[in-house]
Homo-oligomer: A and B are copies of this chain.
Amino acid sequence: MATLGLIEYQDASREVRAIYDDIMATRKTDWINNFWKALANDPIALRRTWEDIKQIMAEGALDALTKELIYVAVSVSNQCGYCIASHTASARKKGMTDAMFHELMAVVGMANETNRLAAGYQIEIDNQFKV
């Protein structure tokens, strides 16, 4: 179980409920996932994290699906089970097809491989790559 337990909507303070409401409205969903319910033990962290994510994950120069794919890529590289499950579900909801998922995994796997080859062979950065 989560370290400090999960704060359900009916047990939440008015402040936390307002954030839950905003999460559900922004994401067009009618439930709150455990990440937020755990973080709600610290309402300041809940607010800060949600405001950050809302700002960062909004459509911008990159579309929402691309951002979600990047989120999955990082979570997979870091072996974060919860984040892989939640962001894979989120990416699918935003339109990730099976074919996209396969390619995402292939790129993530390859990047993790060549990251180590570059380090292991002690390769110096090409002048052309220096800004």
Residues of A within 8 A of B (CB): 1-5, 31, 33-35, 38-39, 41-42, 44-45, 48-49, 52-53, 55-57, 60-62, 66-67, 69-89, 97-126, 128-131
Contact = CB atoms under 8 A, between A and B. Distances in A.
Contacts of A114: 35, 49, 53, 83, 109
B106 A41 contact: no
A38 B119 CA distance: 11
A1 to B, nearest CB: 5
A74 B111 contact: yes
List the 10 closest pairs (A to B, CB-CB), nearest first. Answer: A61-B99, A74-B111, A42-B102, A113-B113, A80-B115, A76-B120, A109-B113, A82-B118, A85-B129, A38-B121
